[in-house]
Amino acid sequence: MVCKKRYKAIIGYNGNRYHGWAKQPKLLTIQQTVEDAFYNVFKQKIKIFCAGRTDKKVNALGQVFHFDWSMKTKIKSSAIIKAINHALPPDIRLLKIHVVNNNFHARFDAKWRIYQYFINTDPHYDPTSFSTIYQYNKPLDLKKINQIKKMFIGRKNFLSFSIDRRKEKKDLIKTIKTIKITRNKAIVKIEIKGNHFLWSMVRMIVGCFIAFNENKMTIKEICDCFKHPQKGKSHFRAPANGLTLFKVIY
């Protein structure tokens, strides 16, 4: 008897070559590449559902997806991982996989998502890390940026820090739980933990931090972005290649 089961998987990828997560006609995407790998190995078509669609060139270390799969014979998780990774390109790796309750949903059951943004402040461009670290190559005053960090924490309408097309106000209210800004030599890491994120929201928050550091945006202007939300009002958006979906918490 063939039994259909639901699986939860964790995957990591370098998004530099890809046009984001979601399948698009005639474009190379993470979702299509993973689904093709499963079909090539197990000759079954599956559809995978992720915790959060990442944009073009965005990376991941802890992306989560689920799928339903009918298996005729029992296969160990380690064997599945080995077989799928052999079929995947080297910039995508299946890290974990296991059976979950049939009601589990990678997106709707997620409580928190953690994104990390990396910035190289060294004056020299590093060609070896350009696909995972934004080559800003200028100083960042973390004390100055920390002056505005608390303005983004809490339950707020983040439409001004997004290019999202949604119009319902309830869909635009998101909660940022923590923002941590640290430095390791020349690399600055901005870690943002939130329940949900609008399209380009993390990149536009980071872009606002950088703009404030460069005196291109004032505290008054940031306040106005929250008081009078408008799509893309902040204007500044950090490049996609510095962003990594680090972890999804259930």
Active-site annotation, residues: 55
Q: DSSP letters along 54-109, please? A: --TT-EEEEEEEEEEEEESS---HHHHHHHHHHHS-TTEEEEEEEEE-TT--TTTT
What separation in angstroms does the CA of 22 have from each of 25, 47, 135, 139? 10, 11, 26, 35
- Distance CA(32)–CA(89), nearest Å, equals 12
Half-sphere exposure in the Cβ direction for 126 (13 Å, CA): 20
Other C-beta atoms within 10 Å of 114: how many? 19
| Residues in CB range of 123: below 8 A, 6 or more apart | 137, 138
Residue 127, exposed/middle/buried by CB under 10 A (0-12, 13-18, 19+)?
exposed
**CA-to-CA separations, 211 to 8, 140, 218, in angstroms, rounded:** 39, 10, 9
Place of tokens 């990594």: 244
Nearest to 150 by CA among 181, 185, 119, 105: 181
